[in-house]
Structure 1
Amino acid sequence: GRSRIIYPPAPLVDRTRAYVREERAVLVRRAATKWADRDPEALFLTCRGQPMKPRRVGAMFTAAAEAAGVTATFHALRHTFAAAMLRFLQREARANPELNPLLALQVLLGHADLATTAVYLRVVETDLSAIEASVDDLYAALL
């Protein structure tokens, strides 16, 4: 229920801006003729121009995962991001000793307690090369 700060790759930001400028604008104009004459505050809208609820986004994610033949949840995606990011931050800390990988990850994840973030230390003890390659492939596909 808390707000989170995210750091998406630039191509995703560009695609979101294009959505707002093109697709979302059409939905807002169409909804304005049917409903209220105002722009909804929500970024993502349904085909009726109503704010998309988090539950709907989750259902869309689940459907996409099933179509791809992958078992996945948003929360598992968050864990994957956290583990891969901690591994990345640990590598960056070798060149930049002032960087504390665990504290940086705590900020990225929005955890109030460092102990919550520390659980990812156990994950990075294992070989994460497959996860890192998957994340790298995902970001490369966005370029």
Structure 2
Amino acid sequence: MSTNRKITLHSSDGQTFEVDEAVALKLQAIKPMMEDGRANNGILLGLTSKTISKVIKYCKKHVESPKSDDCTTGAVDDDLKAWDAEFVNVDRDTLFDLVIAAEYLKIKSLLNLTCETVADLTDGKTPDELIKWFYFKIAFD
């Protein structure tokens, strides 16, 4: 998988992204398209360019980061955990967009990270605070 093949991703708002195959393979939802040649003319994703850009940044970091089992210390894991924590230090709407993108593209590690972040941010909130935080609108008759 050390090829230099590029995969073209298109956002819903018309932006185009060229990504290395190794990075694109992190997007499990498009992996079958890549394997059977359907990705040769690019893949249209139902996500905005802002969200795709962040997802690519996450996947690239995780592809380029040495695996902890390749090292004799846990420093790499600690560095990646710190990077992940900074990555999800975003506004609520961006975080929700990342949760949706992670589910849609089947990026398990990103889905776990974003859902854990949502759980941490909502921990200890009252029901009324949760209603506001999640934009719930409740109609009382």
Normalization by structure 2: what TM-score?
0.27
More helix by share: 1
**Higher-Rg member (1/2):** 1
Answer 1 or 2: which has greater strand percent. Answer: 2
- TM-score normalised over the length of structure 1: 0.26
